[in-house]
Amino acid sequence: MSLDLEPTEIEAAYIEACRLDVASLKPGNVHVFADGHRMTVSDFSESARVSARYVADPTLTVGQRVRTGVEATFEAVGCNTNLGILLLCAPLALAVGCSPGRPSAVRRGVAAKETSQASAPRVPRSLSRGGEGSESALGAIPSLDALSALRTSVKEVLERLTHEDARDVYRAIARANPAGLGNAAGADVRHDPPAGLTLLDAMSLAAGRDLVARQYATGFDTIFDLCGAAFLPVTAEGLPMETALSYIFLQLLAAQPDTHIARKHGTQAAEAVCEEANAVISDLRFCSPWDWGRPEVEARLIAFDAGLKSRGLNPGSLADLMAAIAFVGLLAITAGPDFAC
């Protein structure tokens, strides 16, 4: 018995994930609290709308989904709003959908349930109302079995990536022209990739300096770990999804340099932003995710946001991860109620 979402379901999850991305207060990025970097919320919303059909198209490969999504975005808004989001969401969409001529991507069954039980994530103390023992509540979240099966399927999708996928993604990157990505895959992205180089090969070569590429090289582990241990549990308890994303984003920004900032402004600038994020967390040290809507918390985050934007610092790689976490969570929620042995 297969668990394959319809293209319309995948489109809806993708569009909602992109909406949540800009609805969450992520300092330094474009969001509903403030535009920035010569881009607006409407640019991102329109980009999601026009690219959704390509992300969910069951006849397209991963590379084709990325390339056509970027082309549609540039035709609609004339700038790069979503290359990283498309790179992350395309394999996820392929993994949860059923393409013609291939087996179902995500299967219900004992194997999926065993996988989820073996690798059940722990809820970080800072994200849980119940403290250290709250991981036991994960069994009550029906979407976690679907999440585990999707995780396994994504790894299969990544292993099947081809040279043609790399070629399409190179062309998408050349069109989007993101800051500093350049020759990360060992070849100029303005030309086709070297013969025999798959998209997974290319992303593995870039993984050391690009957070999005690193997800390909690690089987999207960061995205699935955070979705299963942080995003789904707290939203299942009633925390708004955009609030959960804002909270997770700040913790990540404090923990690791954003690779988009590092490529564009240098490693020292990215590390300095980490220190600033840690200072914000220190200021808010008594705040849990459920406090995130308080006026004083919002004001502190908005001030941090304005300071980053005034210096042109955009933690865009981490923002792309937030969209992907939301997409994974929404796909799992959509599939979850019917996922059973």
Q: Is residue 56 part of a domain?
A: yes
Number of domains in the chain: 1
227: which DSSP letter?
Answer: I
CATH of the domain at 138: 1.10.4200.10
| pLDDT at residue number 107 | 38
Task: Give the burial string for 237-251 (b: 16+ CB within 10 Å, else e).
Answer: bebbbbbbbbbbbbb
pLDDT at 106 over 50: no
**Residue 1 located in a structural domain:** no
Would you say residue 44 lies in a domain? yes
Which tokens go with 30? 């474009």
The pLDDT of 256-273, averaged and rounded, is 94
Q: How confident is the model at residue 190 (pLDDT cuts 50, 70, 90)?
A: low
- pLDDT value for 156: 95
What is the extent of the structural domain holding 134?
A: 7-338
Does the pLDDT of residue 188 top 70, yes or no?
no
Q: How confident is the model at residue 120 (pLDDT cuts 50, 70, 90)?
A: very low
- Residue 104 scores a pLDDT above 60: no
The confidence score (pLDDT) of residue 179 equals 57
Tell me how far apart the alpha carbons of residues 284 and 2 are, in angstroms, rounded to a whole number. Answer: 45
Average pLDDT score over the chain: 84
Which of 141-150, 244-253, 268-277 is predicted least confidently? 141-150
Q: Which of 21-25, 43-47, 173-177 is least confident?
A: 173-177
Burial class (CB in 10 A: 0-12, 13-18, 19+), 121: buried
Q: What is the pTM of this model?
A: 0.86
Please state the rounded mean pLDDT for residues 284-313.
Answer: 92
Within-domain flag for 300: yes
Question: Taking 60 as the threshold, does the pLDDT of residue 203 lie above it?
Answer: yes
At residue 141 the predicted structure's pLDDT band, cuts being 50, 70 and 90, is low
Instruction: Let me know if residue 13 belongs to a domain.
Output: yes
Give domain status of residue 2, yes or no: no
What is the rounded average pLDDT of the residues 111-137? 38
124 part of a folded domain: yes
Let me know if residue 255 belongs to a domain.
yes
